[in-house]
Amino acid sequence: MNLKTPLAALALMLLPAMAIAEGCGFQHMNETASQCPDGHAYDKTSGACVKQTTS
């Protein structure tokens, strides 16, 4: 059996999963304070919007 065919099939099967995984974490890197929903504040340490706690 030709080795190129199974390797090509494997690569084509993995591409959508890799694209989805890459997109999940990257979208939070571009968040700013103005994009946080009500009741949330931008945390520079984590680089994401976090729920505000009231004391």
pLDDT digits (tens, 9 = 90+) for 1-27: 689 998 999 888 888 777 666 555 555
Tell me the one-letter amino acid at 51: K
pTM here?
A: 0.37
What per-residue confidence (pLDDT) applies to 26?
52
Residue 44 has pLDDT above 80, yes or no: yes
Q: How many CB atoms lie within 10 A of CB 34?
A: 6
Q: Band the pLDDT of 52: cuts 50, 70, 90.
A: confident
What per-residue confidence (pLDDT) applies to 30?
57
Domain ranges of the chain: 4-51
> Average pLDDT for residues 21-40, to the nearest whole number?
65
Tell me the one-letter amino acid at 32: T
For the chain, report the end-to-end CA distance as a whole number of angstroms: 68
